Amino acid sequence: MGLNAFGIGTNPSSPLYCVPRVLYYLSAMLMKILIVSDAGKPQVNGVVRALEALARELTLMGHVVLIAGPDASRHFTFSLPCYPEIKLELFARRRLEKIMRDFSPDAIHLATEGSLGWTARGICLRQGRKFTTAYHTNFPDYLVKRSPLFLAPLITKAAFAVLRRFHAPSCAVMVATESLEEDLRARNFRNIQRFSYGVDLDLFKPYGKTISDYQNLPRPILLCVSRVAVEKNLQAFLELKTSGSIVLIGDGPDCAALRRDYPDAHFLGSLEGENLARHFAAADLFVFPSKTDTFGLVLLEACASGLRVAAYPAAGPVDIFASEKTRAFAVMDACLQKAVDCALSMPDNPENPRAFASGFSWKASAQQFLRHLLGKEIR
C-alpha cells in the first residue's frame, strides 16, 4: 500500500505533506555507489588521489563506495604505451558484470574513458542502468603532444568525436572548471555539470621550511609536483633561471630523459602522504608549467601548504585563481619566467594562500557529486 492511500503527501496544508520528500531524502542518504576507473593504484596522479579523497568523504557521509579499477593479475591487463604505470584491462565484461550483480549499486559513475569505462558503459546501456561520467583528462591534447604536428587537427577532431560518443548517454558529465565546461559545450557535449575538487587541509598545511631533502639546497626552492610526461611541459620549469634550486617531485615515462638533460635540477621521485605534504610546505614557490590540465589538484595542495604560485594563464590556473584575492600570492603570465620572478617578489605570507584553499573542501565536492548522481529532482 502506497503513502497516498493514507492521504500522505497529497494535501499541501497537511503537516504530513512533506513525508514523501523526507523519505526520498532519507533513501538517498545511504547509497551504494560504484565508481569504475581505469586510473588506480599504484598510479600516483590527480585523478587517483581525487577519487580516493571523494570515496573517503562519501564513506564518512554514510555511503558505501566501491571503486572498480584494473585487475593487474589478469592475463589481459597491459601497460599503456608510453605510460607503463597505467594499466589497461581488456575483456573485463564478465568481471564488471559480476561486480555490478554482487554489489548491486544504487548509482554508477564512470570516472575515465579507458577500456574499463567503455566496458562498463556498454553493460549499463544493455541493462538499462543510468550512469554518470567525468571528464578529468584532456586526452586529445595528450595525443597531439605525442603525434606529428601535421596530424594534430585530424587527431583532435577524431579524439573529441570518440569522447563525445562515450559521454553522450551520461546523465551528468562532471567537469571541474568553467573554461572546460565552455570548451566541451562548444564541441557539442551535453548534460555537463560542475564538480569541483577539494583539498585535505589537515594533510596539506604549513609544516615549516625544514626538511632533509632541501637542507643543502640554495634558496629559493622552486617546486613542481607532476607526472613526468611530455604533456606536462616540464621543460619550461626545468629551464627557469634562478639563484636557488629547481625541485621536481613525481615519476613518469620521461623521467630518465629529463634527468639526463637537466643535471642541475633535483629529481626526488614519487612521494605520497605526509612526506609529500611536508615537501610542499618546505618549498618557497610552487610552479605549474602545464597547459593541458583540466584542473590541477596540486595547485590547491600548494595553496593549502602556504605557497605562492606561478603558472601559465591556461585552463585550470585561470579558473582556480579567478578571484581578486588570489593576486596576493598567485601570478599567471604567458612568460613563465616572468610569473616566477613576480611571484617571488611578493611577500611570503602563508596565511593568504592557506585561507584561499580553505574554500575548497572534499565535503562540498562530495555533496556536488551526490546531487549529480541523484539527478535534478533534489537540487
- Segment 94-146, tens digit of pLDDT: 999 999 999 999 999 999 999 999 999 999 999 999 999 999 888 888 777 77
In percent, the amount of the chain with pLDDT more than 70 equals: 89
**Residue range(s) in the chain whose domain bears CATH number 3.40.50.2000:** 31-198+362-378, 212-357
Q: Which three cell numbers stand for residue 113?
A: 574513458
Q: Which three cell numbers stand for residue 26?
A: 532519507
- Segment 161-219, tens digit of pLDDT: 999 999 999 999 999 999 999 999 999 999 999 999 999 999 999 999 999 999 999 99
Q: Is the pLDDT of residue 363 over 50?
A: yes
Fold for 212-357, please state it. Rossmann fold (3.40.50)
In percent, the amount of the chain with pLDDT more than 90 equals: 75
303 or 43, higher pLDDT: 303
Q: Tell me, what's the pLDDT at 84? A: 65
Residues 68 and 35: beta-carbon distance below 8 Å = yes
Q: Tell me, what's the pLDDT at 83? A: 64
Fold for 31-198+362-378, please state it. Rossmann fold (3.40.50)
Tell whether the torsion through CA atoms of 215, 216, 221 and 222 is positive or negative: negative
Q: Which three cell numbers stand for residue 226?
A: 607532476
How much is the average pLDDT of 32-60? 89
Tally of CA atoms within 13 A in the half-sphere of 301 that contains its CB:
28
Q: Tell me, what's the pLDDT at 294? A: 86
How much is the average pLDDT of 244-251? 97
- Segment 310-362, tens digit of pLDDT: 999 998 999 999 999 999 999 999 999 999 999 999 999 999 999 999 999 99
Q: Is the pLDDT of residue 379 over 50?
A: no
How many DSSP H helices and E strands does the chain contain?
Answer: 15, 14
Q: Tell me, what's the pLDDT at 29? A: 62
Distances (CA, A) of 196 to 52, 60, 173, 263, 337: 15, 19, 13, 37, 29
Give the separation between CA 372 and CA 33, rounded to whole angstroms: 12
DSSP per-residue codes, 229-285: SGGG-HHHHHT---SSEEEEE---TTHHHHHHH-TTSEEEE---HHHHHHHHHHSSE
